[in-house]
Structures are given as structure tokens and as C-alpha cells.
Amino acid sequence: MPELPEVETTRLGIAPHIEGATVTRTIIRYPTLRWPIPKQLKSAIQDQALQRITRRGKYLLFDFASGTLILHLGMSGRLRVLEADCVAEKHDHVDIHFSNQRILRYTDPRRFGALLFTKENPYQHPLIASIGVEPLTDAFNAEYLLSNLKHRKSAIKTCLLDGRIVAGVGNIYATESLFIAGIDPRKAAGKIPEKKLMRLVEAVKMVLTNAIKSGGTTLKDFLQANGKPGYFSLELKAYGNAGDPCPQCKKILISARINGRATVFCKQCQT
């Protein structure tokens, strides 16, 4: 479900309510998400102050003096801050209670998410260490893309979705960025000239920035921590609009599958 803007929206929504508070109790109702939730998690964070929440790609990092809780929302994960007496429902797998009478609740119907804990530097955790550059930093630029894509034969969209190259870009924002940059998502990544890669870099940064400002994208079930939907859905130009006229040239938008993922693009504007 959530890509970088939804994860960042979640972080911004929950952090003010729980940063600085101390964990009083942890309830784990379902022991396994994508991987088993580590047995030592409860004791590791018990009575510990949550120092801050940061984000790396689609991962959220909860810093405690004892270590770092690493959380991924998978396809259907959601985090909310609720009053301590709020009744848990189906798929509410984890509650972390805090000293300020709030709970952080993790909900995830499909259970593709992950909740892990490390005492080491989280950036050295295998899942985090292999992640590519953050798209909203200067490290993500045309030269970086050029050198990383030079010999790649796979479709540019597949490369944009590859988290080892660039972090946090998922199917919605890859589709949108390629539309805005005017690049055919099927085109071999290694054959795209630097000038177009520059446009792509700018498009990715713009799309992600605007999506964060709008509180992310709600397709069906993503909600901000405050319960509101993400309003970037209203700004989607290509994703989900196959069969409609292209907003630029009015030619009908085409749908295709690239590496098993639904893709929408304009044959006229994207070359």
C-alpha cells in the first residue's frame, strides 16, 4: 500500500504524539508478520523513552536508547495513535502503550509488513543497508542514475521500482514520474539519454514532494494518522486512469504490465 509519501505522512502524523514518551506495555496479538516479531522486542523497549522516529525509504525507524525498532508497512499496514482504551479489532496486530496514555497501533490485514528490532546501528541492518539513495536528497541526481542504469536492459520502470537503486518509489509514483518526464516506462533503462534522466529525477522529486504535501495517496484503504484520506489521489495523471484521455494530448492512456505490475502511460507523450 504505502510508498514513500504515505510512510512519511504516517511518520509526520504519529511522531508529535509519541516522541519523548516512555513505553509502558507492548501487546502482540499476532506473532508473525512477514517475519516473526522478535521475542526480545517487548523487553527491549519496555520502560524506554522513544527518542525519535525517522524514515529510510519505506522503513520507519523508532530510536530507543536500547536499540531501534524497524517497521515496514508492507502492502496494507497502517499506524495510528489512539487513546489507550480504544478497543482492538481484527488485524490490529500490535499495540505499544506509552506513558502519556496513548497507544501506537499497528494494523495490517495482509501481514506483509515487518516489525524488527536491532541493538546495532540500524543502517547496518541487512534490510536497510542495501537500500539505494533517498530520492529527496542531492545524492539522487542524473549522474547517479546514469552510472547505475548504464548497462541495464530492463525497463526503466522496473529500475525505478528497484529499492536498491532508489528508495521508496513504488508503483504509483513510478508511473506518475515517468508520465511527467515523458518517458516510455517500457524503455530499456540503459538507453535513456542523460537529458531525459535529468527530467526523470526532477519529476520523481516533484511528484514525491507534492504527494507528501497532500498527505499521500488513498486508493482504497490508506488513511493518514489523523484518519483523513491522502488527497494526492486527486492529482494522479496516469496511475489508475487507463482508458481515459491523456491530460496533455487527449490520446487514450494505455495500460500494460511491466514485470507483473500494472502500468499506465501515453503512447504519444511518453517516448
Partner DNA sequence: ACATTGACCTGGGAGC
Partner DNA sequence: TGCTCCCAGGTCAATG
By C-beta, is 64 or 173 nearer to DNA? 173
Quick note: the x/- pattern for DNA over 224-253, rule CB under 7 A, is ------x-----------------------
The conformation of residue 173, written as its DSSP 8-state character, comes to: H
**Site residues for DNA, window 58-87 (CB under 7 A)?**
58, 72, 74-76
Give the shortest CB-116-to-DNA separation in angstroms: 11
Options 2-10, 14-22, 81-89, 116-124: segment touching DNA (CB under 7 A): 2-10
Asked if 191 is an active-site residue, the reply is no
Cα distances (angstroms) measured from residue 39 to each of 24, 26, 32, 42: 17, 12, 11, 7
Nearest to 182 by CA among 266, 126, 118: 266
Among 217, 224, 241, 270, binds DNA (CB under 7 A): 217
User: Could you confirm whether 3 is annotated as catalytic?
Assistant: yes
Pick from 219, 244, 250, 271: which binds DNA (CB under 7 A)? 219
For position 124 contacting DNA by CB under 7 A, the verdict is no
Reply yes or no on whether 2 is catalytic.
Answer: yes
Q: Is 144 in the site for DNA (CB under 7 A)?
A: no
CA-to-CA distance for 228 and 225, rounded, in angstroms?
7
Residue 130 interacting with DNA (CB under 7 A): yes
CA dihedral over 183, 187, 191, 197, signed as positive or negative: positive
Q: How far is CA 111 from CA 27, 123, 221, in A?
A: 16, 24, 15
68 vs 36: CA distance, rounded Å = 16
Grid cell for residue 225 = 494518522
How far apart (Å, rounded) are the C-alpha atoms in residues 69 and 19? 13
With CB under 7 A as the contact rule, the residue among 18, 45, 161, 197 that binds DNA is 161
How many residues sit in the footprint of DNA (CB under 7 A)? Answer: 43
Check 3, 6, 8, 176 and give the catalytic one: 3
Total Cβ atoms within 10 A of residue 107: 19
DSSP H or E segment with residue 160: helix 156-160
Closest CB to DNA among residues 153, 195: 153
CA distance linking residue 77 with residue 117, whole number of Å: 18
122 binds DNA (CB under 7 A): no
Site string for DNA, 6-45 (x = CB under 7 A): x---------------------------x-----------
- Catalytic residue chosen out of the listed positions 11, 56, 58, 102: 58
Are 77 and 107 in contact by the 8 Å Cβ rule? The answer is yes
Cα separation values, 255 from 58, 153, 174, 258, 262, Å: 26, 21, 14, 10, 7
> Of 34, 186, 205, 261, which one is the catalytic site residue?
261
Name the site residues for DNA (rule: CB under 7 A).
1-3, 6, 34, 57-58, 72, 74-76, 90-91, 109-112, 127, 130, 151-155, 158, 161, 163-164, 170-172, 216-222, 230, 259-262
| Residues annotated as part of the active site | 2-3, 58, 261
